[in-house]
Amino acid sequence: MKLHATTTMALLLLFLLASSLQVSMAGSEFCDSKCAYRCSKASRHDDCLKYCGICCAECHCVPSGTAGNKDECPCYRDKTTGEGPRKRSKCP
Protein backbone atom coordinates (compact mmCIF):
# COMPACT_ATOMS: atom_id res chain seq x y z
CA MET A 1 0.00 0.00 0.00
CA LYS A 2 2.82 2.42 0.84
CA LEU A 3 4.51 1.79 -2.49
CA HIS A 4 1.31 2.72 -4.36
CA ALA A 5 0.98 6.02 -2.46
CA THR A 6 4.66 6.84 -3.03
CA THR A 7 4.35 6.08 -6.74
CA THR A 8 1.22 8.22 -7.02
CA MET A 9 2.91 11.14 -5.27
CA ALA A 10 6.00 10.81 -7.48
CA LEU A 11 3.87 10.83 -10.64
CA LEU A 12 1.90 13.83 -9.42
CA LEU A 13 5.10 15.73 -8.66
CA LEU A 14 6.52 14.83 -12.08
CA PHE A 15 3.32 16.03 -13.78
CA LEU A 16 3.39 19.36 -11.92
CA LEU A 17 7.05 19.88 -12.73
CA ALA A 18 6.50 19.10 -16.42
CA SER A 19 3.50 21.48 -16.55
CA SER A 20 5.46 24.37 -15.07
CA LEU A 21 8.39 23.78 -17.41
CA GLN A 22 6.08 23.75 -20.40
CA VAL A 23 4.59 27.15 -19.45
CA SER A 24 7.99 28.72 -18.81
CA MET A 25 9.56 27.29 -21.98
CA ALA A 26 6.65 28.09 -24.26
CA GLY A 27 6.75 31.12 -26.47
CA SER A 28 9.48 33.09 -28.12
CA GLU A 29 12.46 34.85 -26.61
CA PHE A 30 10.71 38.15 -27.39
CA CYS A 31 7.53 37.20 -25.51
CA ASP A 32 9.38 35.57 -22.63
CA SER A 33 11.51 38.65 -21.97
CA LYS A 34 8.67 41.15 -22.42
CA CYS A 35 6.32 39.14 -20.19
CA ALA A 36 9.01 38.63 -17.54
CA TYR A 37 9.26 42.41 -17.19
CA ARG A 38 5.50 43.01 -17.52
CA CYS A 39 4.78 40.49 -14.74
CA SER A 40 7.74 41.35 -12.50
CA LYS A 41 5.52 43.10 -9.93
CA ALA A 42 2.41 40.94 -10.27
CA SER A 43 1.07 39.34 -7.11
CA ARG A 44 0.12 36.21 -9.09
CA HIS A 45 3.37 35.99 -11.05
CA ASP A 46 2.81 32.53 -12.60
CA ASP A 47 -0.70 33.37 -13.82
CA CYS A 48 0.52 36.68 -15.20
CA LEU A 49 3.33 34.98 -17.15
CA LYS A 50 0.94 32.36 -18.51
CA TYR A 51 -1.66 34.79 -19.82
CA CYS A 52 0.85 37.38 -20.97
CA GLY A 53 2.62 34.65 -22.98
CA ILE A 54 -0.65 33.56 -24.59
CA CYS A 55 -1.58 37.14 -25.49
CA CYS A 56 1.90 37.99 -26.76
CA ALA A 57 1.98 34.91 -29.00
CA GLU A 58 -1.37 35.87 -30.54
CA CYS A 59 -0.78 39.65 -30.74
CA HIS A 60 3.00 39.82 -31.24
CA CYS A 61 3.25 42.69 -28.77
CA VAL A 62 3.24 43.43 -25.04
CA PRO A 63 2.51 46.90 -23.62
CA SER A 64 5.45 48.64 -21.97
CA GLY A 65 5.73 48.87 -18.20
CA THR A 66 4.48 46.56 -15.48
CA ALA A 67 0.82 47.66 -15.76
CA GLY A 68 -1.43 49.83 -17.92
CA ASN A 69 -0.33 51.21 -21.31
CA LYS A 70 -2.62 48.70 -23.07
CA ASP A 71 -3.47 51.24 -25.77
CA GLU A 72 0.02 50.58 -27.17
CA CYS A 73 -1.24 47.14 -28.24
CA PRO A 74 -4.95 47.09 -29.17
CA CYS A 75 -4.98 43.33 -29.81
CA TYR A 76 -3.59 42.68 -26.32
CA ARG A 77 -6.01 45.20 -24.80
CA ASP A 78 -9.11 43.78 -26.49
CA LYS A 79 -8.64 40.08 -25.64
CA THR A 80 -11.30 38.95 -23.15
CA THR A 81 -12.14 35.77 -21.25
CA GLY A 82 -15.74 35.57 -22.42
CA GLU A 83 -18.99 37.42 -22.97
CA GLY A 84 -21.69 38.91 -20.76
CA PRO A 85 -21.39 39.92 -17.10
CA ARG A 86 -18.30 37.73 -16.49
CA LYS A 87 -16.37 39.26 -19.40
CA ARG A 88 -12.98 40.63 -18.34
CA SER A 89 -9.57 41.29 -19.79
CA LYS A 90 -7.57 38.18 -20.56
CA CYS A 91 -4.19 39.88 -20.82
CA PRO A 92 -2.40 41.31 -17.77
pLDDT per position as a tens digit, 16-55: 555 444 444 456 899 999 999 999 999 999 999 999 999 9
Burial of 32 (0-12, 13-18, 19+ CB in 10 A): middle
Average pLDDT over residues 53-69: 95
Q: What is the pTM of this model?
A: 0.67
Average pLDDT over residues 65-79: 94
Average pLDDT over residues 59-79: 95
| Residue 74 DSSP symbol | H
Average pLDDT over residues 66-73: 95
